[in-house]
Structure 1
Amino acid sequence: MNQFTHINASGEANMVDVSGKTDTVREARAEAFVRMAPETLQLIVSGQHHKGDVFATARIAGIQAAKKTWELIPLCHPLLLSKVEVQLEAIEADNLVRIESVCKLAGKTGVEMEALTAASVAALTIYDMCKAVQKDIVIEQVRLLEKTGGKSGHFKVDA
């Protein structure tokens, strides 16, 4: 197993020095699910939610969050992202919204945290917009799906 990179020799939290690394194209995909009552999902899908377009708001929130990840997660590097995409899909048969985010750049460090933050904040935004209608909405399974680039290479979750 690899060692933690954010811990120095004294066991203290430490921002990793990436100055010696080579720039490579890096991309990461993450997902989150938001489970809710069928009636709540129907309000979103039909466009009848009193707060407006829930998916559009969640998409913008996720994109903004990816760009601010370095401000939210203490040891993350500020990154010049070249792409952030957030897709939302209603899965009415399961009363779910599936969120998938993609972040990309050419740089010295990965974009996994940015993709995870985008998916998480999009899910939180759905909760925020729908909490007046339903308070027991559940955010589930926030996870990294895939990452490419960098020294550790390609990672993809098993199907």
Structure 2
Amino acid sequence: MSSIRYAKSQIAIHWLAAALIIFLLVTGTLVLADLPNTAEKIGNLRFHMILGVLAGVLVIARVILRKRLPALPAVHGEMFARLGHMALNLIILLLVFSGAMLMLQSGALDALFGSAALPADFKEFTPRRIHGLASRAAMALIALHVLAALYHQFIVRDGLLARMGIGSNKIGRQ
């Protein structure tokens, strides 16, 4: 049974980062990818880039807090959880890095914060391919993360979600 919560700062950063990352993945995949590289795309792209940097900062903050605050008691499958979190953190940081490299390599920063035009197409740049593949990997890892949390909550019934502020922190097998 899990009866201890993460620190409020860890919980807040987790849920803020989760919402932000899901928003970025959905809008990047369903909106930005389909917009032609015209002047109308610049505002959306600027917003996406700023939020992407914020997501990267939040992931780094989560890692720092995890190292500085006491560890919670281990749960069933802790090794897999650690590997999953590490993979998810790394893939999000890869998304931030590949997005930044795309902006630099393509010259899009001049369009976003100056008066230049966007390149005709981002797909010709290697960081764009990496960004696209990393976004799909992030979606898969997030799906696994959610499924693992639901498995713990409803099958193992160890109150794992309570550690992240959802529900009573006294849930367990009855």
**TM-score normalised by length of structure 1:** 0.27
Q: Name whichever structure is richer in strand by fraction.
A: 1
Q: Name whichever structure is richer in helix by fraction.
A: 2
